[in-house]
Amino acid sequence: MRSFDTLEPRAEKAVTPSELQAWGNRMLSLYPTGATPSLAELDTNFPAKLRDIAPELGPHIVVYAPQTDVLANVIIYWGSGFLGHKGFEIGPTNFTGMRGHRAWTNGVYFWQDGQH
């Protein structure tokens, strides 16, 4: 799937790190105890330009509540069991990411796992 293979460069053209950070912070305030809201549930409270990055594979959203060893964070991801998964981890500027992949800015990280 070409849209999945080029997800990160397409996302870079669609949204800035600061836009992702602002959206992630809004999500953390809306869901302070964690959640897995659907894209339909979020309606316009989702970066519109990311909706069409790879629509056949997501996006999916998970909001993680703060834990003793990890700051609260939001994950947006696309993918499948066959293709693997790619997405963003978003948290406050002092969030270092759990998956250890490429930083877009402090608190915003792109990651991928699986087949790709």
Kindly give the confidence (pLDDT) of every residue in the chain, 116 residues in length, as a single tens digit, with 9 standing for 90 and above: 678 889 999 999 999 999 999 999 999 999 999 999 998 889 888 998 999 899 899 999 999 998 888 889 999 999 998 889 999 999 999 988 776 678 999 999 999 986 54
| CB neighbour list of residue 103: distance below 8 Å, 6 or more residues apart | 97, 109
Count Cα atoms within 13 angstroms, Cβ side, for 115: 10
Give me the domain span that covers residue 12. 2-113
Domain count, the chain: 1
pTM: 0.88
Closest C-alpha among 110, 104, 111, 112 to residue 18: 104
